[in-house]
Amino acid sequence: MRHTLIIMGFFTTILSFFGCSGQTKQESDVMIVTVMEEKKFEPSKDKLVNMHLTKQTIYGTADKYLLDEIFDHLYSQCSVENQREYDIVMSWNKSKQAVYKVCLFKGEVNNGGYNQFYNNSGVQYYKDLPDALNLIGAHKFADLTKRANDTFEKEYERVTKYQEKFVDDPLEEFDDEFFDLNKTKNLEKLLVDYIRKHKKELVD
């Protein structure tokens, strides 16, 4: 009996060492992935400390990182999980509103065209976008977006049908125009230039 217990203890130790006690390899892999994902999405202490936006932050951030810095800061104040996001954004001054809305718009269109923008949470700002784009000096983008908005409203059934079946997208022509325009009137550069010139309106 004692010999049997020693052997069982030996095997238990080995299984524990390899993380297999009571688990299949698949279950073990799932646990590892879950732990890694939880760790990946855990906000860092440094990020939380840097949420206070100052002129020094804007001065000291290179152009290629500036939009991410500003947008992350604004986004932290109105997470999409917050049911009051729209009210919070609309309570900001015009500069903060414009930068936030245009950043949302730019990211969606770059990833999936106007249709993706109208299909995601940024759509709540679509009527405001032409004014926001004009404010940052992106006048041709404002005109393009106003025309896209008109098509979105007039062709709503076709637009939503495309979102389900990915055929016959009435907004595709606006995507092509957006990317062609972005080659000569880079929207990211216009945003960065606006932020540099309106630091006082964007800091806390």
pLDDT tens for the chain, residues 1 to 204: 544 444 444 444 444 444 444 444 444 443 333 333 333 323 333 443 345 788 888 888 999 999 999 999 999 888 655 668 899 999 999 999 999 999 999 999 999 999 999 999 889 999 999 999 999 999 999 999 999 999 999 999 888 887 777 678 899 999 999 999 999 999 999 999 999 999 999 988
The Cα–Cα gap between 24 and 6 comes to 24
**CA distance to 46, 66, 114, per residue, from 72 (Å):** 13, 10, 22
Q: Considering the entire predicted model, what is its pTM?
A: 0.72
**CA distance to 72, 137, 155, 178, per residue, from 149 (Å):** 27, 19, 10, 13
Domain ranges for the chain, please list them.
Answer: 2-40, 45-202
The CATH code of domain 45-202 reads 1.20.1420.60
Residue 98 · residue 135 · CB < 8 Å: yes
Nearest one of 141, 82, 88, 85 to 110, comparing CA atoms? 141
